[in-house]
Amino acid sequence: MSLLSVYKVSKQFTVGDSVVQALDDVSFDVQEGECLAIVGESGSGKSTIANIILGIYSATEGSVLYKDKELPDKRGKALRRAIQLVQQNPLSSLNPRRTIGASLRLALDVHGIGEKKDRNGMVETLLEEVGLPSEFRHRSPAALSGGQRQRVAIARALACQSRLVVLDEPTSALDVLVQARVLKLLEDLKQRRNLTYIFITHDLSVVRNIADRVAVFEKGQLVEIGSTTDVFEDPKNPYTRRLMAAVPIVGRDEQALRDKLSETMK
Amino acid sequence: MSEPILKIEDLKLGFKSWSGMNDVLHGISLHIRQGERVALVGESGSGKSVTARLVLGMLQELKNTHVSGRILFEGQDINTMPARTCHAMRGTKMSMIFQDPTSSLNPTYPISVQFTEVLRRKDPEITRQRAREIAIAALTDVHINNPERVYDSYAFQLSGGMNQRVMIAMALVNNPTLLLADEPGTALDVTVQAQTLNLMSNLVEKHNTAVLFISHNLGVVREFADRVYVIYKGNLVEQGPTEALFEDPRHPYTQALLSAVPRITGGGIPDIAETSESFGLPLVAHAGFSEKELLS
Amino acid sequence: MKKIFVTLTRNPLSLTGLILVGLVVFAAIFADFITPFPDHRGAVVDFLNFNQPPSWTHLFGTDLVGRDLFTRVIYAYRISLILGIVVLVIAVPIGVSIGLLAGYLGGKTEFVLMRMTDVFLSIPPLVLAMSVMGLLEPTLANGMIAVTVMWWPWYTRLVFNITRAEKEEGYVLAAEVIGASKLHIMFREILPNCVPSILTKMTLDFGFVILIASSLSFLGLGVQPPTPDLGSMVAEGARYLPDSWWLTVFPGLAILIAVFGFNLIGDALREILGVDQ
């Protein structure tokens, strides 16, 4: 069964006098337990569709179904709990004036998870699960590095015990080594907790190594979707090819793949 | 062999704070010859960005910084140079392009005003008409299709990619001997970044400019640089020609960096340890590419 | 908190401010013990000693009915501080709450609340206070009401601006996605980020409140005799310049010291807390 279904979704924004078509008739499914990557450049609509799925915006046309039931514009707590978000910017996603523990407890308090007296302990368990020392719950975000903050953001998404997690460029702001560790963590967590990921990024190399399926967006339209192996080895859409040809690479074998793609583009 | 345009010798930098001296650079040495493209690769906190600022002479004047070692630009030591001389060189002999092109351009002035200002640094008497001519030519050089319109626009009216080209044009218009590029293109889309780097490549080749390229993005470095220095926590750990360094990384830190970069051919996410003692091992230079060998 | 205090003591200017304010607060609290003639704060008459210049018995001299001016100035400090505290304790929560609601909820709420705030802001503060006092009897309590009425809109404006910016930050989005209530987001997420600006403004305002209250008294609208008030003392004494200069100069200096002290601390706080107002 598809956990999530996006059905013919369009979204328009009015900016002053002009109308921007951020999404145009987009449809796709997300299967339970998979990692679906949504890739595109700026203006592709990848963040817009994420915001619609999360209930931050409402679609101008079309609908989003979660477990076969349409998601309403205004969501109750139960639905909020089901779908969570990990944001890109580790700096601004944590309240600078609250401790890590307070930010993590929020989810537990809002949804009444566990007994009140147990919640601090639950926060510590969450921190350990994402590879951070439990005493971090007393610290403020300013004392943590970017990678550590991103782990806290992941812990926060887990706190709600949600099954579907939307990750909007979760590692784009991180250094190379830190990114690898955080991606590994995400992979492990997905296995252990049987999570479903919608992974939004512009970085195709990351997608290749973490996603089961990939959806390519260009200027508000879904131009290609398929299994990662299929899309990467034989991209059908010219935009997908252009994207791949532009990705910075570091190895000889990657060079060979890129050359092959550039050949077909000529 | 001629003297390098830029020669850094045992550069050390510390910041004084109420908790004592915070050492950021522990003695790095590197050089760039005319027409060479050299990359300084490291993660955040490695010291790569402060190195660029020191080369520009921007941190030496601050009260709480302690700088030692030499930064020889065309033979003169920037660390001991009077501030005014240093200032005169920026924009003329040395220029820099930054990470986010749109925010590096002043939103309250049109491009024309900023471009003229740059041109005036080299030729204070330049007329507006002449400045316009030169600028339009420079903008055409960076493959901007309607340079007149761009010249009269404001930064926020143009796309990120366009602004990056404008910045490159402004940085190269006075024909500097050294160009510093701090993570150029990171804020841009991948396709635009590729075009921009290509463009930069051609231009520096045409003007024979020396380039110090600062980045944490290994893929970009591989495309652009001739030689690479890898920096970790204020120390250089590996240096060598680009191809050799990428094919055969010798230092554990470089090896970790390269193994952590996701490949478009797949291979999964590797397990990287939090830190490693081995990252602190001393500098490894590829054969024939140590400072001593290259400078002799 | 401790770090802030330590930093304040390092800077000579803010240290001066701390000392001055410390003196004022000390004087106000311990007025009963440090003044030579405590009952002179009330309705006491001593015509034998009236209008005396400063001497060792009467450090600031005596006023027109023979009361010790030093005593009256110290007790007047107490009144001013109480006024300041009461006004801020009432005005700040009201102003801050309105600003939070308007800034976060936006739409019609914002329109209604902010236009109302604009109305209050557009009336010159003293005129507003005077109008309120015109309707009520001139007493200390009513003086406080008048000043409170004109004070809250400034906090609304301050908090409104900060809220509008903070609303766009990632942590607010995260709280919304988690499902936190609007009330929680406003008061537990956004408000803590407004606190540095609010604190700084409150410190600077203390001096201003004292000034405004003094101005009201100067106009005869605030505190009534025999309660000592710095503004009234300045007003009454002004008529006897330059002969009985002490009647004006000492109360005037007292106002100056208090306001100056609070301003110095406020400025230093602004720098320390990184507030860019």
CA C135 to chain centroid, in Å, comes to 22
Question: If you count residue pairs, one on A and one on C, with CB atoms under 8 Å apart, how many are there?
Answer: 61
Give the model confidence (pLDDT) of C22-46 as tens digits: 888 888 888 788 777 777 777 777 7
CA dist., res. B229 & res. B51, Å (int): 12
CB-CB contact of C273 with C196 (8 Å): yes
Residue of C nearest to A95 (CA): C171
Q: Average the pLDDT over each of A30-34, B37-41, C73-77 and give the range with the smallest value.
A: C73-77
Q: Are the beta carbons of A106 and C178 separated by less than 8 Å?
A: yes
Q: Average the pLDDT over each of B104-118, B127-141, C92-106, C226-240 and give the range with the smallest value.
A: C226-240
What residue ranges in chain A does DSSP mark as E strands? 2-15, 18-31, 35-39, 61-66, 69-70, 83-86, 164-168, 196-201, 213-218, 221-227
Q: Which helix (H) or strand (E) holds A190?
A: helix A176-193
What angle do helix axes B128-141 and B111-122 make, rounded to 10 degrees? 100
Q: How far is A81 from chain B (nearest CA, A)?
A: 29
Mean pLDDT for chain B overall:
88
Q: pTM for this one?
A: 0.84
Q: What percent of chain B is modeled with pLDDT above 90?
A: 39
For chain C, the residues whose C-beta falls within 8 A of a C-beta of chain A are 169-171, 173-181, 184, 188-189, 192-193, 195
In Å, what is the CA distance from C220 to each residue of A36, B204, C119, C224?
75, 78, 26, 8
The average pLDDT across A113-132 equals 91
CA dist., res. C102 & res. C119, Å (int): 15
Beta bridge partners of A215: A38, A225
Closest CA to A249 of A238, A263, A260, A239: A260
Q: How far is C165 from chain A (nearest CA, A)?
A: 12
Tokens of A256: 């060979």
In eight-state DSSP terms, residue A134 is G
A155 and A245 share one domain = no
pLDDT reported for residue C277:
42
Q: Are the beta carbons of C171 and A110 separated by less than 8 Å?
A: no
What angle do helix axes A146-159 and A176-193 make, rounded to 10 degrees? 20
A102 and A57 share one domain = yes
Q: Which helix (H) or strand (E) holds A82?
A: helix A77-82
CB-CB contact of C263 with C251 (8 Å): no
Contacts of B186 in chain A (CB under 8 A): none
Instruction: Specify the length of chain B in residues.
Output: 296
Beta bridge partners of A19: A14
**What angle (nearest 5°) sits at the alpha carbon of residue B24, between those of residues B19 and B27?**
130
Task: Give the helix ranges, DSSP H, for A92-171.
Answer: 100-111, 119-129, 146-159
Q: How far is A87 from chain C (nearest CA, A)?
A: 7
CATH of the domain at A94: 3.40.50.300
List the chains bordering chain C where 3 or more Cβ pairs fall under 8 Å: A
Contacts of B260 in chain A (CB under 8 A): 176-177, 179-180
Q: What is the 3-state secondary structure (H, E, C) of B200-230?
A: HHHHHHHHCCEEEEEECCHHHHHHHCCEEEE
A187 and A260 share one domain = no
Point out the residue among B44, B266, B272 whose CB comes nearest to the CB of A209: B266
Q: Would you call A151 an interface residue with chain B, using a CB distance cutoff of 8 Å?
A: no
A186 and A247 share one domain = no
Q: Are the beta carbons of C170 and A94 separated by less than 8 Å?
A: yes
- Indicate whether B63 pLDDT > 60: yes
Q: Which amino acid, residue A265?
A: M
Residue of A nearest to B198 (CA): A246
A177 and A254 share one domain = no
Q: Which amino acid, residue C258?
A: A
CA C163 to chain centroid, in Å, comes to 24
State the residue for tokens 């409402």. A58
Q: Which domain, by its residues, includes A89?
A: 2-233
- Indicate whether B155 pLDDT > 90: no
CA B42 to chain centroid, in Å, comes to 12
pLDDT reported for residue C172:
94
List the chains bordering chain A where 3 or more Cβ pairs fall under 8 Å: B, C
Q: Are the beta carbons of A249 and B219 separated by less than 8 Å?
A: yes
Q: Would you call A216 an interface residue with chain B, using a CB distance cutoff of 8 Å?
A: no
**What angle (nearest 5°) sits at the alpha carbon of residue B239, between those of residues B237 and B240?**
155
pLDDT reported for residue B231:
94
Which is it for strands B37-41 and B227-232: parallel, antiparallel or unpaired?
Answer: parallel
pLDDT reported for residue B10:
93
Q: How many CA atoms lie within 13 A of A119 on its CB side?
A: 19
Point out the residue among C170, C179, C180 whose CB comes nearest to the CB of A87: C170
A14 and A124 share one domain = yes
Point out the residue among A80, A87, A95 whose CB comes nearest to the CB of C179: A80
A132 and A257 share one domain = no
Give the model confidence (pLDDT) of C170-213 as tens digits: 999 999 999 899 999 999 999 999 988 998 888 888 878 877 87
Give the model confidence (pLDDT) of A174-227 as tens digits: 888 899 999 999 999 999 999 999 999 988 899 999 999 999 999 999 999 999
A9 and A43 share one domain = yes
Q: Are the beta carbons of B264 and A208 separated by less than 8 Å?
A: yes
A199 and A258 share one domain = no
A141 and A246 share one domain = no
CA dist., res. A200 & res. C215, Å (int): 62
Point out the residue among A56, A87, A96 whose CB comes nearest to the CB of C193: A96
State the residue for tokens 């796309």. B159
**What angle (nearest 5°) sits at the alpha carbon of residue B86, between those of residues B81 and B87?**
150
- Indicate whether A101 pLDDT > 70: yes
CA dist., res. A70 & res. A243, Å (int): 33
Contacts of A179 in chain B (CB under 8 A): 260
Helix, strand or coil for residue B56? coil
Q: Are the beta carbons of A97 and C193 separated by less than 8 Å?
A: yes
CB-CB contact of A52 with A64 (8 Å): yes
- Indicate whether A245 pLDDT > 90: no
Q: Are the beta carbons of A247 and B265 separated by less than 8 Å?
A: no
Q: Is A161 left (phi over 0), alpha (psi -120 to 50) or beta?
A: left
- Indicate whether B64 pLDDT > 80: yes
Q: Is C190 left (phi over 0), alpha (psi -120 to 50) or beta?
A: alpha
Q: Would you call A106 an interface residue with chain C, using a CB distance cutoff of 8 Å?
A: yes
Q: Is the ipTM of this complex over 0.95?
A: no
Residue of B nearest to A184 (CA): B269
Q: Are the beta carbons of C179 and A75 separated by less than 8 Å?
A: yes
- Indicate whether C276 pLDDT > 70: no
Q: How far is B268 from chain A (nearest CA, A)?
A: 5
A63 and A179 share one domain = yes
- Report the number of distinct structural domains present in chain A: 2
Q: Which helix (H) or strand (E) holds B182?
A: strand B178-182
CA dist., res. B80 & res. A136, Å (int): 45
Domains with residue ranges and CATH for chain C: 2-272 (1.10.3720.10)
Contacts of B266 in chain A (CB under 8 A): 208-209, 229, 232
Q: Are the beta carbons of A110 and C176 separated by less than 8 Å?
A: no
What residue ranges in chain C does DSSP mark as E strands? none
For chain B, the residues whose C-beta falls within 8 A of a C-beta of chain A are 43-44, 160, 189-194, 216-220, 222-223, 246-247, 256-272, 274
CA dist., res. A223 & res. A41, Å (int): 13
Q: pLDDT-derived band of residue A264, with 50, 70 and 90 as boundaries? A: low
Q: Would you call A108 an interface residue with chain C, using a CB distance cutoff of 8 Å?
A: no
Q: Which amino acid, residue A193?
A: R
Please confirm whether the linkage preceding C53 is cis (ω < 30° from 0): no
CA dist., res. B41 & res. B46, Å (int): 9
- Indicate whether C246 pLDDT > 50: yes
A226 and A239 share one domain = no
Q: What percent of chain B is modeled with pLDDT above 70?
A: 99
Closest CA to C103 of C183, C174, C159, C187: C159
Point out the residue among C169, C177, C188 whose CB comes nearest to the CB of A54: C177
